[in-house]
């Protein structure tokens, strides 16, 4: 099926807030072709008529677009911080009520179950907390409630929690009832006004979601998240999203690698203007501050990656296409390199290096907001992707966000030190 108009993109933007440029049109078009083939629609018009008339197909398309990428104890430092601060909060509650925690989008359950396990490991009793887990995908929720996970959900150097909280079964490992009973799953959409009207939570986890949204939707979502977080509560976000919180009255706890934020005092809130499109952005004099380095000019030589990306073992087509992207980019053939990136995303699962190249190509074209979106997508797939961390940090510094740039630079340095100690 050839997708020849933007109505499908508009549908996804309206329903789930998806900014197509954040993931690339190729990924969306691949999902559309897959769904059209599955329901025997010969062209885009036929599929559109089915889509607008069938709530079931609308959900099926959303399921096809959403690619859950999660595992237990992702960003482990944040769970250590959770355990420490949760104990303090529970002590302050003095038994008046359980600690209320929200995880959204909860995907297939790895994050909310990790929250529960982290609290158990911190000595918190099951009666002292309750986790609500929300996701737009009923399929993902069904998998979470089933509670059986394969090896891809257990990553990192320390998976000792698997022995404490899982039992081996035929299809993988099944979560313990004590953990399962601490989490309540339900379908929901962060853009639904009813969600924002809920009673605020002591702790909210919402990580690696707003990278898929345009700036306007990002601002709306963060305001909703602020409403859902109590004045004395905590909001945990993704590592690439901290700089987006500055204008809504949230500030970092200052705990390294935790990505945890609190409500800022009223007199500490400094509004951050929405960036205008790069072509029409006026020159604004920034407040006096140390001069931050600007991103290095992008030339053909700047595209050479520090390390050659690793393709799936034995997949020569993937390796060849990645090599071709690198070759075209290094030769300065920007249009051809971008086309090769789109072709990769149509044919294979997304990888961080491809989004990094798309970010560089966008910089060459002067599309700085688009470049930032691609770098954040790369960091979603690979949180310690050093090239993306470095270039996004440079862009933030050039925009005057020295604190955001410093956080990313510190992350890159910690990643380098950790590799050097291995």
The token pair at 215 is 């700036």
Give the pLDDT confidence score for residue 394 in this predicted structure.
79
The answer to whether 337 touches 329, Cβ cutoff 8 Å, is yes
The pLDDT, as a whole number, for residue 175 is: 98
**Going from the N-terminus, what domains does the chain have, and what CATH number goes with each?**
7-65 (no CATH), 76-268 (3.40.50.150), 300-420 (1.25.40.10)
Q: In the prediction, which pLDDT does 408 show?
A: 80
Rounded to the nearest 10 degrees, what angle do helices 386-398 and 368-381 cross at? 150
* 340 to 102, 208, 343, 348, 354: CA distances (angstroms): 40, 26, 5, 12, 9
Q: How many residues does the chain have?
A: 422
**Nearby residues of 412 by Cβ (< 8 Å), 6 or more positions away:** 384, 386, 389, 390, 393
Q: What is the pLDDT of residue 23?
A: 65
DSSP 391-409: HHHHHHHHTT-HHHHHHHH
pLDDT by position in tens, the chain (length 422): 444 568 898 888 888 777 776 666 777 888 898 899 999 998 889 999 999 999 889 888 887 887 667 899 988 889 999 999 999 999 999 999 999 999 998 999 999 999 999 999 999 999 999 999 999 888 889 999 999 999 989 988 889 999 999 999 999 999 999 999 999 999 988 888 888 777 899 999 998 777 677 777 888 888 889 999 999 999 998 776 766 666 677 888 888 778 888 887 755 444 433 333 322 222 222 223 333 334 444 433 334 333 334 444 346 677 788 888 887 876 677 888 888 888 888 888 888 888 888 888 887 777 888 888 888 888 888 888 888 888 888 788 777 677 777 778 777 776 655 555 55
Strand partners, 132: 102, 184
pLDDT for 289 equals: 32
Q: What whole-number distance in Å separates Cα of residue 185 and Cα of residue 177?
A: 14
Q: Which residue has the tokens 């907001």?
A: 369
Per the CB < 8 A criterion, the answer to whether 129 and 182 are in contact is yes
What is the C-alpha separation between 321 and 308, in angstroms, rounded? Answer: 13
């Amino acid at each position: 099926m050839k997708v020849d108009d933007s109505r499908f993109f508009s549908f996804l933007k309206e329903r789930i807030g998806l900014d197509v440029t954040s993931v690339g049109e190729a990924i969306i078009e691949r999902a559309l072709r897959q769904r059209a083939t599955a329901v025997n629609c010969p062209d885009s018009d036929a599929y559109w008529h089915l889509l607008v008339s069938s709530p079931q197909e609308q959900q099926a398309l959303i399921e096809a677009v959403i690619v859950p990428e999660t595992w237990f104890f992702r960003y482990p430092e944040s769970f250590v911080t959770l355990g420490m601060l949760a104990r303090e909060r529970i002590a302050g509650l003095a038994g008046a009520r359980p600690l209320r925690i929200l995880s959204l989008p909860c995907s297939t359950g790895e994050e909310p179950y990790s929250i529960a396990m982290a609290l158990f490991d911190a000595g918190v009793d099951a009666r002292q907390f309750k986790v609500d887990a929300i996701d737009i995908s009923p399929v993902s929720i069904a998998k979470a409630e089933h509670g059986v996970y394969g090896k891809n959900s257990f990553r990192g150097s320390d998976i000792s929690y698997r022995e404490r909280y899982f039992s081996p079964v035929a299809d993988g490992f099944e979560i313990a009832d004590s953990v399962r009973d601490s989490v309540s799953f339900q379908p929901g959409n962060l853009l639904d006004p009813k969600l924002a009207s809920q009673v605020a939570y002591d702790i909210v986890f919402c990580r690696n979601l707003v990278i898929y949204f345009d700036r306007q939707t990002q601002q709306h979502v963060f305001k909703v998240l602020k409403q859902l977080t109590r004045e004395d509560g905590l909001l945990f976000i993704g590592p690439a999203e901290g700089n987006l919180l500055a204008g809504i009255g949230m500030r970092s706890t200052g705990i390294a690698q935790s990505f945890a934020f609190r409500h800022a005092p009223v007199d500490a809130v400094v509004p951050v203007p929405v960036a205008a499109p790069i072509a029409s952005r006026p020159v604004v004099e920034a407040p006096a501050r140390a001069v931050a380095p600007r991103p290095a000019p992008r030339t053909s030589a700047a595209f050479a990656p520090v390390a050659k990306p690793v393709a799936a073992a034995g997949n020569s087509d993937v390796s060849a296409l990645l090599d071709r992207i690198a070759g075209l980019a290094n030769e300065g053939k920007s249009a051809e390199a971008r086309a090769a990136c789109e072709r990769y995303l149509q044919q294979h699962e997304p990888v961080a290096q491809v989004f990094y190249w798309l970010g560089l190509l966008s910089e060459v074209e002067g599309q700085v907001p688009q470049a930032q979106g691609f770098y954040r997508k790369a960091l979603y797939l690979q949180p310690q992707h050093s090239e993306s961390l470095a270039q996004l940090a440079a862009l933030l510094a050039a925009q005057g966000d020295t604190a955001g740039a410093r956080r990313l630079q510190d992350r890159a340095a910690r990643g380098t030190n950790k590799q050097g100690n291995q």
